[in-house]
Amino acid sequence: MAGEPNAFGWVKPAQTTVIDFYQADRDNPDKVARDTVRLHDYLLDNFNVDLKKTVYDVDPKERLNLMLASGEYPEVISAMDDDTVDKWKAQRKIIDLTPYVDQYGQNIKKALGDKYKTYLDEDGKLWGLPRGWGYLPGPDFTAHIRMDWYEEMGSPKIETPEDYYEVLKQMVAAHPTNAQGEKVYALSWNDQVNINNVMGIWGLKDGYKEDADHNLVHWLNTSEGLEAARFYNKIYRDGLLDPDLFINKFDDWKTKFANERIVGHIGSWWHSWNAGHEIWRNSVPDYQEDMRYVQIAIKAAGAENAYLSPKDARGWNYTVLTDKAKNPEAIIKFLDFTMSPIGTRLLGWGVPNEEDSLWNYEGDDKWSFNEAQKTALLDGTFDYEKSDQLGGNRFWLVHGQGLLEDDNKSTAWYDQNFVDEDKWKKLMYDNTKDTVYDNTARRVVFSVDNPYTLVNQQIEDLVKNGFAQAVTRKTEDEFVSTFNELRDKANKLGLQDLEKYRTEEYKKQLAILNQ
Amino acid sequence: MRDYLKPTLGSRVFDTANVVFMLVFCALMIYPFLNLLAISLNDGVDAARGGIYLFPRKLSFSAYELLFQNKKMLNGFMWSILRVIVGTVACLLATGLLAYLVNIRHFSGRKFMRILFFITMYFNGGFFPVYLLIVNLGLTNSFHVYWLPALFNVYFMLLISSYIQNQPDALFESARIDGAGEFRIYWKIVIPICVPVFAAVSVYLAVSHWNSWFDVVLYNPSGKFDTLQVYLRRLLLEMEGLQQIRDQQVLYNRYRDLSPLTLRAATTIVVTVPILLVYPFVQKYFIGGIMLGSVKG
Amino acid sequence: MNTWRRRIAKERQIWIMAVPMIVWVLVFSYYPMYGMIIAFQNYVPGNSFFSGDWVGFAHFERFFNSPDFSTIMRNTFAISGLNILFGLPAPLILALLLNELKNKAFKRFTQTLSYIPYFISWVVVASILFTLLGSDGLLNKLLIDFGFIREPISFLGEGKYFWGILTTSNVWKDVGFNSIIYLSALASIDREQIEAGKVDGIGRFGTVWHIYLPGIRTTIILLWILGLGGILNAGFEQQLLIGSPTTAEYSEVIDTYVYKYGVQLGYYSFAAAVNLMKAVVSVLLVISMNRIAKKFFDTSIL
């Protein structure tokens, strides 16, 4: 009944609140339609909110531009980036949310806490609500090693990259070819691996060395950068680096990996799971649990820390209300609910209290996990596709992805809730404890108006290509001269100006965040 | 007509070499297709291990089952066929007429028309103006956006025109002297003579319409007029969409949901096979089949 | 008197058909051309096209002065040049060879198979190339087995092979499809001429040289002029998929450059300016080659 609070303590509006939003992410509309039906109906019944998501399978930037140019757009748009928010704000197509959040956004303000003010513009106005803000304490990028073969060797200690390479070398010596007789390598690379993450091993933060005064120097201009590149070059010269490493697309790398041809990896934490045991447990007869990769941290001798996983807590992008929104108060009221811990659980885990639900809600803020699903997750028998249809995280408008404040343990990502109970996740977290750091202050928006956008892109491309060239030199002297050439070229293009720019922006952000 | 000259030795050597060449050529052309076919008939998880060449290792129809289970596929198929037929016939007849008109000797505007259309082959206003125009003309969310904006194709106009130029003018003149109107000449004389080039152009047009998806998602986002390609492409685009994502947790989830290699292979097969089935009916008009009646005097 | 009146009536007939065509092209092609104006502005989508934020030729200058300009142009001409050198004659030769096949069924079968690669997407082609030319690929295995080399060659990783690989892939993909138009042109050649040639004893090759080729001359000239006019279009998707960081120096062409530094970063005006430049160059090329064709071959496509 309208006017009365529902089981979640939220007052149902008399008139159905319609939130028809376009999410500017490239997605499959058919899948989205299939996955949002149940949660949509649940919300309509229990909240009198008609939440509808539209996606297109075209480039979202193009789509947004067309919307802007033609004047045809919905009331709510989600997943807009900084640049686009500014553009729409300049054309007065989105509305200032501050008055609504001030009045109805208690949960929003509480959840964002100190960070709330960082989302306001120079005039103190809020134009977009962040989504996916905060971060999970787990690592994003790690080094990986083959577990069973490692245990075979007696689990020798691995602390530095040199240790790591030694162990990999011995592993390859013990397993020089796979079952089909193909050569095995120590390391490879794929098009998703980012040089900056590798640099973290040598103590560089997101590709830059930071001194005590927060001045930034790009890895090309540091000795650590040279060492990191030399590390790969040495492995290449020893013949233990996959010679096609920079040609590998993710799929090509995955095929090699799944065929047991690469014993180590430095890259995203999930790479070695996706290409490793998640395939093997279904395809290898007599599959043993240890036939998998574990994530570890390695730190170069002189580095202060292994800064492997920079985390940007600001959020992926924003949700905005356009000037066509007929009832902004009602929309903000609902969005505010989703920012509360229980609201985030509802939108993060999907429909509760059904037989195949991931969780149960008993009312009065009391909730519990569905034991059957939880066990399935820990066992590896969890049916992801079916559970997607419960709508979890399918409507991601404003909630965060970090740990919820009421118990500091649950998170909207359902499968990240049981880290302690999942042997392998726990191992990963333990191994990479100190490698996660907050990188929010380093954020720079390279919009069309930014004079450094072009230079940044040129240098990024130059560095990507140059690094590949340097690593694949056949002698150490050639490597050093190629590296130096790369460094000189980059500096000529304007790398040092870019460093200065980044330093300024960094210091600015630090000042704001520390206020 | 009988070949009443004995083939020379050189001629026979050439013929043998030609056949051998063609056999090798066929193998090169068809191998990737057979490879995709093999992958598409393989089990998804097993296919990720690579190493499948001409035959599936672990036979499974799951990729095709997944494709066909959605009724949208049948719908898409229907719209695709409709689009191919309407689009091809409309463009062919219209462009053919244009090609004929600009070849009429006594038509004073023919140079003007040629140049007018020629310029449009290279200069265009870009993405946004065209989109706005289509919106303003009310062609969005309609089937007509598939054939009307593509009604006259300059490239094919030039092709057909060069073909017509090769034909003796006497053909048309005699009809004119007999009092036939230009449109009648086009319909009764030009079209029959141009059958080979029309057949070739219709292949190109049909393939283009069959493969198109961008204008569908752009102008008909509601999904009501989705063609087959749109539906199939959705399964493939996931890979492209992933390039933009940086968040590792999101990526982990997306990669887990990614369509298996086998599904992607199956989409190519499903798109190509109908063309291969229909093609022979058009092929006979320009290769080893129907002999054109000699209208030439 | 009668013929003159009839001629006017005839022209009017034609004009009645021509006028709707002119209207169509004005509406669908010429009217949107106002969009080209953004090449001279700093256009932001959503702005009016006539907001007057003029920058003149700044974007053109930016393109010509970019640090990689000479590399990009070199790559573009090299890749296009190879595509033209091999890609223009190949469909013609294929059509002539197909035409010579005696067995009709085999001819039709082969021709149908010949264009299948056109439907294989570049993503699939890239992955096939990887299987073939990778360090563990088929080609390397063969070369090592036969003792030609000792260490595998990274064909896809070394820049000097890139152009060859790209051209071969392009020709492989398009030759069958592009030969269709030549086949249709060959089908229209007067059979009597062919028979007469046979009687004159000019032989197989003579038939090709003196009868087939001249018979489809206008088609060949048209397609080759248009092909040459597109010399600044060296591809886009292929470079992105087959290229890699180590071959970037050889794979960056105008279209990939415009995409990376124009469209992707939001610099639509820059992209528009480069496209406009490409269009002007193409038109000038086509017109001048058409003049040459008129002079030497007495054929004009315009």
Chain B touched by C12 (CB under 8 Å): no
- H helices of B166-260, in order, are 170-177, 182-185, 191-193, 195-211, 214-219, 228-242, 248-257
Residue C68 has pLDDT above 50, yes or no: yes
Give the pLDDT of residue B45: 78
* Selected residues 228-267 of chain C with any CB under 8 Å from a CB in chain A: 244-246, 248-249, 260-261, 265-267
On chain A, the residues whose CB falls within 8 A of the CB of C130 are 244, 247, 249, 252
Q: At what angle do helices B195-211 and B154-165 cross, to 10 degrees?
A: 170
Q: Are A390 and A349 in contact (CB under 8 A)?
A: yes
DSSP B54-103: SS-SSB--HHHHHHHHSHHHHHHHHHHHHHHHHHHHHHHHHHHHHHHHTT
Average pLDDT over residues B109-127: 91
Chain B touched by A141 (CB under 8 Å): yes
Structure tokens at C261: 């530094």
Distance CA C259, CA C252 (A): 11
Distance CA C142, CA C54 (A): 60
* pLDDT tier at C263, thresholds 50, 70, 90: confident
Lowest mean pLDDT among A438-442, B287-291, C47-51, C137-141: B287-291
Give the model confidence (pLDDT) of C155-188 as tens digits.
998 889 999 999 999 999 999 999 999 998 888 8
Contact A270 B255 (CB under 8 A): yes
Give the pLDDT of residue B267: 87
Distance CA B292, CA C89 (A): 27
Give the pLDDT of residue C71: 94
Q: Are B254 and B99 in contact (CB under 8 A)?
A: no
Residue C228 has pLDDT above 60, yes or no: yes
Average pLDDT over residues C2-7: 68
Chain B touched by A386 (CB under 8 Å): no
Distance CA A152, CA B17 (A): 59
pLDDT > 90: percent of chain C:
58
Q: Are A412 and A401 in contact (CB under 8 A)?
A: yes
Average pLDDT over residues C107-134: 91
Q: How many CB atoms lie within 10 A of CB B45?
A: 20
pLDDT > 90: percent of chain A:
72
CA count, 13 A, side-chain hemisphere, B198: 21
Report which residue type is found at A136. Answer: L
DSSP A427-472: HHHHHTGGGEEE-GGG-----TT-TTHHHHHHHHHHHHHHHHHHHT
Give the pLDDT of residue B296: 41
Beta-strand ranges (E) seen in A269-387 are 293-296, 309-311, 317-321, 359-363, 366-369
Beta bridge partners of A120: A126
* Contacts of residue A348, Cβ cutoff 8 Å, sequence gap at least 6: A392, A393, A399, A411, A412, A413, A414
Q: Are A186 and A169 in contact (CB under 8 A)?
A: yes
Distance CA C167, CA C234 (A): 10
Give the pLDDT of residue C7: 66
Q: How far apart are the first and last CA of chain A?
A: 45
In chain C, the residue whose alpha carbon lies closest to the alpha carbon of A92 is C46
Distance CA A192, CA A271 (A): 9
Structure tokens at C178: 């592009």
Minimal Cβ distance to C222: which of B97, B104, B158: B158
Distance CA B160, CA B164 (A): 6
Tell me which residues of chain A have a pLDDT lower than 70. 1-2, 515
Contact C108 B288 (CB under 8 A): yes
Distance CA C68, CA A374 (A): 55
Q: Are B45 and A282 in contact (CB under 8 A)?
A: yes
ipTM entry: 0.90
Residue B2 has pLDDT above 70, yes or no: no
| Nearest-10 Cα torsion for A462, A465, A470, A473 | -140
Strands A208-210 and A293-296: unpaired
* Selected residues 194-253 of chain B with any CB under 8 Å from a CB in chain C: 196-197, 199-201, 203-204, 207, 211, 236, 239
Angle at A199 (CA atoms; ends A193, A204), nearest 5 degrees: 140
Mutate to test the interface with B, among A57, A64, A135, A136 (most CBs of B within 10 A): A57
Domains observed in chain B: 68-283 (1.10.3720.10)
Sign of torsion over alpha carbons B170, B173, B179, B184: positive
Give the pLDDT of residue B295: 38
Domains observed in chain C: 45-120+169-297 (1.10.3720.10)
Mutate to test the interface with B, among C141, C180, C211 (most CBs of B within 10 A): C180
Distance CA A330, CA A15 (A): 9
Please count the residues of chain A.
515
Could you say which DSSP state residue A190 is in? -
Q: How many CB atoms lie within 10 A of CB A3?
A: 8
Give the pLDDT of residue A122: 87
Distance CA A96, CA A321 (A): 8
| Interface contacts (B, C; CB < 8 Å) | 234
Q: What is the CATH number of domain A141-311+419-438?
A: 3.40.190.10
Average pLDDT over residues B253-273: 83
Phi-psi region at A320: left, alpha or beta (left = phi > 0; alpha = psi -120 to 50) = beta
The overall average pLDDT reported for chain C is 90
- What are the backbone dihedrals phi and psi of residue A4, each rounded to the nearest 5 degrees, phi first? -105, 145
Q: Are C170 and C87 in contact (CB under 8 A)?
A: yes
* pLDDT tier at B289, thresholds 50, 70, 90: very low
Give the pLDDT of residue C1: 57
Residue B288 has pLDDT above 60, yes or no: no
**Domain at A17-133+313-413, CATH class:** alpha beta
- H helices of A306-450, in order, are 328-339, 341-349, 371-379, 384-388, 423-431
Distance CA B261, CA B264 (A): 5
**Common-topology check for domains A17-133+313-413 and A141-311+419-438:** yes
Give the pLDDT of residue A169: 95
* Contacts of residue B102, Cβ cutoff 8 Å, sequence gap at least 6: B110, B113, B114, B157, B161
Give the pLDDT of residue A99: 94
Give the model confidence (pLDDT) of C116-129 as tens digits.
999 998 988 998 89
Strands A129-131 and A317-321: antiparallel
Taking alpha carbons only, the member of B284, B162, B288, B102 closest to residue C215 is B162
Q: At what angle do helices A453-471 and A476-493 cross, to 10 degrees?
A: 170
Chain C touched by A18 (CB under 8 Å): no
Contact A274 B252 (CB under 8 A): yes
Minimal Cβ distance to A243: which of C46, C126, C154: C154
On chain C, the residues whose CB falls within 8 A of the CB of B14 are 100, 204
* pLDDT tier at B239, thresholds 50, 70, 90: low
Angle at A368 (CA atoms; ends A366, A371), nearest 5 degrees: 165
Minimal Cβ distance to C44: which of A247, A446, A448: A448
Contact C246 A246 (CB under 8 A): yes
Chain B touched by A382 (CB under 8 Å): no
Give the pLDDT of residue B75: 87
Minimal Cβ distance to B218: which of A58, A140, A278: A58
Average pLDDT over residues C8-23: 87
Regarding predicted confidence, which is higher, A125 or C45? A125
* Contacts of residue A437, Cβ cutoff 8 Å, sequence gap at least 6: A205, A305, A307, A309, A310, A311
Mutate to test the interface with B, among A20, A23, A26, A269 (most CBs of B within 10 A): A26
Contact B255 A274 (CB under 8 A): yes
State whether residue A511 is helix, strand or coil.
Answer: helix
Contact B135 A274 (CB under 8 A): no
Q: Are A126 and A97 in contact (CB under 8 A)?
A: yes
Residue B283 has pLDDT above 80, yes or no: yes
Residue C48 has pLDDT above 80, yes or no: no
Cα distances from C163 to residues A21, C65, C78, C258, in angstroms, run: 46, 25, 8, 20
Distance CA B129, CA A157 (A): 64
In chain C, the residue whose alpha carbon lies closest to the alpha carbon of A251 is C127
Distance CA A185, CA C4 (A): 86
DSSP B165-178: HTS-THHHHHHHHT
Contact C101 B118 (CB under 8 A): no
Kindly state the helix (H) or strand (E) to which residue C133 belongs, with its residue range: helix C122-133
Mutate to test the interface with C, among A77, A188, A244 (most CBs of C within 10 A): A244
- What are the backbone dihedrals phi and psi of residue B10, each rounded to the nearest 5 degrees, phi first? -60, -40
On chain A, the residues whose CB falls within 8 A of the CB of C127 are 249, 251-252
Give the pLDDT of residue B297: 34
Report which residue type is found at A268. Answer: S
Contact C44 A87 (CB under 8 A): yes
Q: Are C158 and C251 in contact (CB under 8 A)?
A: no
